[in-house]
């Protein structure tokens, strides 16, 4: 791993002094002085993240700084016993203000907050908000999640013993769904792109807590729980050579989270939660054994039902994620057969017809059929019988500029014909050669896939 590039930094005081010198010594107006300071420091490769760069001078009127200063006062004055409700309400008010400004698109607000002690401060408040202060704790957790935006802020969270703090809150407040949801949002934010934080939460047995929540609460009632599963099982930290998430996925499966997540799919829940549950289940399905466990617990039937429902309700994102999960499960040969036996081909064709105007859904459908027909002449015959040949031709005709779709179509065509000569005759008779050659010519990423498709169709000049 290459050593990190050294970064030059500047304090808020030094930045303010530079702007002041531009005004007083060079007689610039405040706006010009600020722009000159920013340009000068940028040219010198100085990192300005976390710097209040405004014409307000010291930044005391900046909403981030205002919120932090007042919250620091309230934190210093905190007394556990006899806490005035008015003061708690004021804490909620300022936390919500800080959360709001860190969630907007204004550049650098979260960085400014983190650089000025916000992560440590909000963690301190979270530790002090005992029973009876549920709304304040929800506000604090939501704010903490918005502050954890980069490696630096997450490292502060780790150094402040944040994972243990959050796990204590989750374990001790399991009766409150709002606290659980906000707490899991912190888990998601902190573990994103950070292998150390993932390990910390796993060492604190977050998998057991997640299973307990899935079993005790109704489907979709804790949306961020599903996001936490997905993040904990995603290898997204490019600083490590080998991630441990594969082992975490097996651990999740071993204790029974597969069954609990499949149960979440049996009844239609709000689309965002259904998408998150589907993505979480896909993250766990890392090997053939787990893929088969999903099927054994009714997962294939549940996913196919969700695919049907997504088409009827026009939920394109649900359709895409369900197809993606089905494709992952079809990596198991046993599951391939089960999907086809449960009319999976017909359901996929119906979905493609319903979303014929959306190339992203069509691409997922083609990718799923590609996996289902891989090394399976029987499934290839079933696909063509269900109408896959007509669907692929219409998709390639309608969306010639969609490279991902064109590529998926070429891969699918290969699997339809490589072991099924009768399918070659059908597709060639319907004009597929012209469409593949067009994709080969116009889409750079399709060249190899298109050449292979032409070859497996039995055409001699497949490289032309």
pLDDT of residue 379: 97
At residue 322's C-alpha, the angle toward residues 456 and 182, to 5°, is 145
Contact indicator for 167, 129 with CB cutoff of 8 Å: no
Contacts 24+ apart (CB under 8 A), 218-221: 219/263, 219/264, 219/267, 219/269, 219/273, 219/277, 220/264, 220/269, 220/270, 220/273, 220/274, 220/277, 221/177
- Here the tokens at position 20 are 């002041």
Place of tokens 């959050």: 166
CA 336 – CA 62 distance, rounded (Å): 58
pLDDT in tens, 91-128: 999 999 999 988 875 557 888 888 889 999 999 999 98
Among 52-66, 235-249, 376-390, name the one with the lowest average pLDDT.
52-66
Q: Which residues contact 388 (CB under 8 A, 6 or more apart)?
A: 345, 349, 369, 412, 416
Contact indicator for 99, 140 with CB cutoff of 8 Å: no
pLDDT of residue 59: 43
- Pick from 317, 395, 297: which is nearest to 352 by CA? 395
pLDDT in tens, 404-446: 999 999 999 999 999 999 999 999 999 999 999 999 999 999 9
pLDDT of residue 104: 73
Which segments within 96-220 are labelled E, that is strand? Answer: none
DSSP assignment of 86-99 equals HHHHHHHHHHHHHH
> Measuring CA to CA, how many Å separate 439 from each of 63, 178, 346, 403, 448?
53, 50, 27, 8, 10
pLDDT of residue 65: 87
Contact indicator for 218, 210 with CB cutoff of 8 Å: no
CA 379 – CA 357 distance, rounded (Å): 26
CA 91 – CA 293 distance, rounded (Å): 47
The pLDDT of residue 4 is above 60: no
In the chain, what are the helix, strand and coil shares in percent, each to the nearest 5? 70, 0, 25
Choose between 2 and 291: higher pLDDT. 291
- β-partners of residue 8 are 46
The pLDDT of residue 81 is above 60: no
H-helix segments, 233-376: 245-255, 257-265, 271-284, 288-296, 299-313, 316-329, 333-341, 344-354, 359-373
Place of tokens 């007689």: 27
CA 232 – CA 186 distance, rounded (Å): 12
- Pick from 94, 16, 77: which is nearest to 48 by CA? 16
Quote the DSSP letter at residue 209: H
Phi (first) and psi of residue 53, to 5 degrees? -105, 85
The pLDDT of residue 2 is above 50: no
pLDDT of residue 51: 65
pLDDT of residue 3: 43
Quote the DSSP letter at residue 9: E
Q: Compute the mean pLDDT over every residue in the chain, rounded to the nearest whole number.
A: 90
- Name the band, by pLDDT with cuts 50, 70 and 90, for residue 7: low
CA 330 – CA 335 distance, rounded (Å): 5
Q: What is the four-CA torsion angle of 69, 73, 75, 76, rounded to 10 degrees?
A: 130
pLDDT of residue 58: 44
Among 48-62, 212-226, 280-294, name the one with the lowest average pLDDT.
48-62
> Measuring CA to CA, how many Å separate 233 from each of 31, 77, 195, 322, 362?
47, 41, 10, 18, 27
Contact indicator for 277, 261 with CB cutoff of 8 Å: yes
Place of tokens 């086809």: 340
205-227: average pLDDT: 94
> Measuring CA to CA, how many Å separate 85 from each of 90, 91, 129, 347?
9, 10, 12, 56
pLDDT in tens, 287-343: 999 999 999 999 999 999 999 999 999 999 999 999 999 999 999 999 999 999 999
pLDDT of residue 374: 96
Q: Percentage of residues in the chain with pLDDT exceeding 90?
A: 72
- Pick from 124, 118, 127, 177: which is nearest to 148 by CA? 118
pLDDT in tens, 343-396: 999 999 999 999 999 999 999 999 999 999 999 999 999 999 999 999 999 999
- Name the band, by pLDDT with cuts 50, 70 and 90, for residue 220: confident
Among 127-136, 155-164, 352-361, name the one with the lowest average pLDDT.
127-136
């Amino acid at each position: 791993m290459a050593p990190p590039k050294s970064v030059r930094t500047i304090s808020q005081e030094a930045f303010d002094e530079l702007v002041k010198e531009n005004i007083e010594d060079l007689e610039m107006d405040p706006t010009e002085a600020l722009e000159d300071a920013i340009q000068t420091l940028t040219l010198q490769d100085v990192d300005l993240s976390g710097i209040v760069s405004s014409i307000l001078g010291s930044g005391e009127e900046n909403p981030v700084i205002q919120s932090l200063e007042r919250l620091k006062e309230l934190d210093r004055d905190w007394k556990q016993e006899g806490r005035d409700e008015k003061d708690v309400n004021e804490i909620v008010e300022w936390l919500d203000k800080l959360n709001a400004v860190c969630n907007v698109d204004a550049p650098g607000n979260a960085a400014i907050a983190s650089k000025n002690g916000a992560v440590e401060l909000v963690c301190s408040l979270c530790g002090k908000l005992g029973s009876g202060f549920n709304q304040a704790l929800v506000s604090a957790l939501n704010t903490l999640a918005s502050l954890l935006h980069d490696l630096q802020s997450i490292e502060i969270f780790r150094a402040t013993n944040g994972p243990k703090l959050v796990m204590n809150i989750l374990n001790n407040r399991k009766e409150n769904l709002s606290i659980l949801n906000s707490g899991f949002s912190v888990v998601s934010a902190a573990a994103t792109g950070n292998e150390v934080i993932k390990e910390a939460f796993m060492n604190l047995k977050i998998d057991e807590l997640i299973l307990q929540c899935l079993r005790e609460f109704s489907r979709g009632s804790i949306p961020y729980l599903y996001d936490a599963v997905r993040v904990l099982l995603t290898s997204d930290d490019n600083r490590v050579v080998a991630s441990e998430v594969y082992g975490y996925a097996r651990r999740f499966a071993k204790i029974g989270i597969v069954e609990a997540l499949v149960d979440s799919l049996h009844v239609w829940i709000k689309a965002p939660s259904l998408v998150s549950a589907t993505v979480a289940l896909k993250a766990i399905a890392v090997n053939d054994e787990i893929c088969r466990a999903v099927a054994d617990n009714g997962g294939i039937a549940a996913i196919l039902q969700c695919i049907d429902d997504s088409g009827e309700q026009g939920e394109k994102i649900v359709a895409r994620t369900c197809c993606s999960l089905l494709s992952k499960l079809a990596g198991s040969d046993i599951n391939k057969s089960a999907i086809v036996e449960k009319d999976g081909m017909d359901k996929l064709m119906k979905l493609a017809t319903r979303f014929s105007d959306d190339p992203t859904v069509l691409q997922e459908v083609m990718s799923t059929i590609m996996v289902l027909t891989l090394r399976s002449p029987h499934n290839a015959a079933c696909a063509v019988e269900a109408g896959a040949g007509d669907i692929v031709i219409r998709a390639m005709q309608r969306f010639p500029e969609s490279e991902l779709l064109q590529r998926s179509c070429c891969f699918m065509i290969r699997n339809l014909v490589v072991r099924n000569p009768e399918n070659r005759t059908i597709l060639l008779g319907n004009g597929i050669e012209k469409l593949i050659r067009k994709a080969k010519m116009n889409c750079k990423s399709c060249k190899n896939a298109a050449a292979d498709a032409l070859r497996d169709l039995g055409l001699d000049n497949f490289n032309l």
